């Protein structure tokens, strides 16, 4: 069924599951081809943006769980498709995102070396101190180190 306002036929002989998620455009037709009855609606632009963000989280979790190269490739392709959708939702061209990524990589580097920062000691009141202090849930302030004697 193409609209949640339409009532599907009696489904007493079917198991009905709540999916409540964004799916690829061709999935409703594939469901119908398999004999399933899906309630489908078209999201507003604001709903699409929220759904795409949720989808990014879902696909990232699936990538994390993927164990084989083929599964990882499939999940990365899904993440790419969500990125394309997010670009469209934000009225950006994917080429703009690629150019911005290149600009940032030229200025700050990429993520190829695996650099991980455990802690950073900032001068009180500095720009970086203010940035981290503004997000205490992400960057908790640790107790002061003991003064050497």
pLDDT digits (tens, 9 = 90+) for 80-95: 999 999 999 999 999 9
- Prediction pTM value: 0.76
Q: What is the pLDDT of residues 30-47, one digit of tens each?
A: 999 999 999 999 999 999
> For residue 68, with 0-12 CB atoms within 10 Å meaning exposed, 13-18 middle and 19 or more buried, which class applies?
exposed
Residues 100-135 have pLDDT tens digits of 999 999 999 999 999 999 999 999 999 999 999 999
């Amino acid at each position: 069924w193409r609209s949640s306002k339409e009532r599907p036929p009696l489904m007493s002989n079917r198991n009905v599951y709540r999916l409540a998620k964004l799916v690829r455009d061709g999935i409703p037709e594939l469901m119908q081809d398999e004999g399933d009855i899906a309630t489908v609606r078209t999201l507003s632009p604001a709903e699409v943006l929220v759904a795409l963000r949720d989808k990014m989280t879902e696909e990232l979790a699936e990538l994390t769980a993927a164990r084989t190269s083929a599964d990882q490739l499939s999940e990365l392709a899904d993440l790419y498709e969500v990125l394309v959708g997010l670009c469209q939702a934000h009225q950006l061209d994917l080429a703009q995102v690629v150019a911005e990524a290149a600009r940032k990589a030229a200025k700050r580097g990429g993520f190829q070396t695996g650099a991980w920062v455990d802690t950073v000691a900032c001068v009180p009141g500095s720009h970086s101190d203010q940035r981290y202090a503004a997000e205490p849930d992400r960057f908790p302030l640790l107790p002061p180190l003991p003064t050497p004697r």
